[in-house]
Structure 1
């Protein structure tokens, strides 16, 4: 079956589901939602009601970020524990897809996105989302317990491989940083459900309230400090030279950590995970820049990344002492 035919077949299956759910209502076409980096994401309407559909790209295997059914299972397991969209339909036939409610809201990363949000609102949202992360890490998600957990060593191995695939000149000091991280891997904490990219840019907010955490493509069972260290990166525009924008009054890392802990003691070895988060960011940015320069994904905006890559590596080494 051709890609065009597969897409049409997918649309027909979605419309069949909508027609049964909304008899007599006019059905809209599948409209691609921009911004996604995995699978295919569409919006579709039935009368006045809107839905989001995520599907495996035609002709591709449902693995990794394209495994949309894995995302749906996480969303269903988290329903009621943390704000996530409700999964309303799931179809395992190829190409697999699932449908969820369309949640209205703003997904804005204050220090990286262009926006006109009030700085006080940005601060309030970030502190509120830290509480959501805390709830996530205390959620058992029993329906997902069969997933193999990742410990700190496995996390470091994953991002070390990504970093080492980046040419040396694009990651100054990266090899030394990896060596220092490897020399001081902390003991793991009991694994919890982690999001993998937990930050305000992946949360839909209405007013001061996060109403839905989205983009669950890389969830894992792992060490809660991986999510925590990553989320702390986005409090300070100085972490992103040439990319970040100064927003006065954003919470400091200490304030965001206090909101997450809510009176509980701080976890041990958090600095190692703060350094790991910077390593992860440098590896991702270096990978994207390499693909651009090799002509695999033309995006001249990637040329703004070298100062931030260097800063991530430098500050990670500073954190490790």
Structure 2
């Protein structure tokens, strides 16, 4: 689910000078450090740099790519700028540059962004549970931001739209890599819930994209696929990561994590009952299986060599199986 960073020294040097010049023009002074690549970005190059005692994270369009879709760095900057002061914790945007390859700089927020059931180092179980509860409590703030206050640039995605998106991804994966996916797909397609009023959807809301200081969320990052859409899509995706049993061979089971019932209750906080959540839970599993199947296919075709992808089959099968059980 991540993109490796391959920055040549020439590219890095050219980008570094641009970053220093634009940040300096924006009033950030001090001796600059070298632009240092960071691992883990999804769709662009990610770096950190300091001017004096001020540290920044820079996200840039990869060389040879255009600023469209997931590579549109300035689109990410626009939504985070719009959310400043909204109660949704986001890093402050400090500079943008629309000259290709485009980039933006945001403040570096200290903390941890670790998925307890997947990432290393392992998060202490009580702290992992506290972070997950707080993430469920913070998510309604995101969904409560008026769309009229945001730089909306597309039509809201309905549950049917979301299913169609991930059906296309799954359809590009050889069926032997995603056994049982056709049945789960048919079950999802036969019972698509009606859409509710659209809200701002991050698109990949989970602890791995939420920088925490202790148990408190400090910054929601990685806004590559934000859109207006159905809040239950976001909640269903978040719930996939609440149970390490979903990831055999890849992740770990963490004792004491809140279950789906508790997380939904914390999200709803006494509000209206969220209908059809079982469908969205199953959709989240279908989506994760499609992403993992896509990554495994790329590895086996030699397009992106990563032996760790060979650990995925058991997780793919578990996700499809449990998604099917929820709808069957």
Question: Where does residue 260 of structure 1 map in the other structure?
Answer: 267
Alignment partner of 1:77: what SS?
helix
Match of 2:193 among 170, 180, 186: 186
Match of 1:139 among 131, 137, 145: 145
Match of 2:302 among 288, 295, 307: 295
1:86-123 Cα offsets, whole Å, 9 max, x none, are 11111111111111100000011111112343211111
Question: Where does residue 160 of structure 1 map in the other structure?
Answer: 167
1:193-249 Cα offsets, whole Å, 9 max, x none, are 111111111111111101001111111111111100000111111111112212111
**Aligned counterparts of 1:95 and 1:124: Cα–Cα separation in 2:** 40
Question: Where does residue 309 of structure 1 map in the other structure?
Answer: 316
8 A contact 2:61–2:67 mirrored in 1: yes
Shift of 1:37: 2.0
- In the superposition, relative to structure 1, how do residues 287 and 208 fare at CA in structure 2: closer, same or farther (>3 Å)? same
2:116 corresponds to 1:121: no
- In the superposition, relative to structure 1, how do residues 19 and 110 fare at CA in structure 2: closer, same or farther (>3 Å)? same
Question: Where does residue 279 of structure 2 map in the other structure?
Answer: 272
- In the superposition, relative to structure 1, how do residues 58 and 130 fare at CA in structure 2: closer, same or farther (>3 Å)? same
Q: Which runs of 5+ in 2 are unaligned?
A: 1-7
Write out aligned runs for 1:1-321 (5 A).
7-20=12-25, 21-23=27-29, 25-81=30-86, 82-141=88-147, 142-321=149-328
**Aligned counterparts of 2:166 and 2:311: Cα–Cα separation in 1:** 22
Q: TM-score, normalised by structure 1?
A: 0.96
Alignment partner of 1:235: what SS?
coil
Q: How many residues align?
A: 319
8 A contact 1:19–1:27 mirrored in 2: no
Q: Which runs of 5+ in 1 are unaligned?
A: none
Alignment partner of 1:144: what SS?
coil
Shift of 1:284: 0.2
8 A contact 2:128–2:257 mirrored in 1: yes
**Aligned counterparts of 2:293 and 2:104: Cα–Cα separation in 1:** 33
8 A contact 2:285–2:319 mirrored in 1: yes
Shift of 1:280: 0.1
**Aligned counterparts of 1:210 and 1:22: Cα–Cα separation in 2:** 26
8 A contact 2:152–2:227 mirrored in 1: no
Q: TM-score, normalised by structure 2?
A: 0.94
1:263-286 Cα offsets, whole Å, 9 max, x none, are 112211111111100000000000
**Aligned counterparts of 1:79 and 1:22: Cα–Cα separation in 2:** 19
Shift of 1:5: 5.2
**Aligned counterparts of 1:15 and 1:314: Cα–Cα separation in 2:** 51
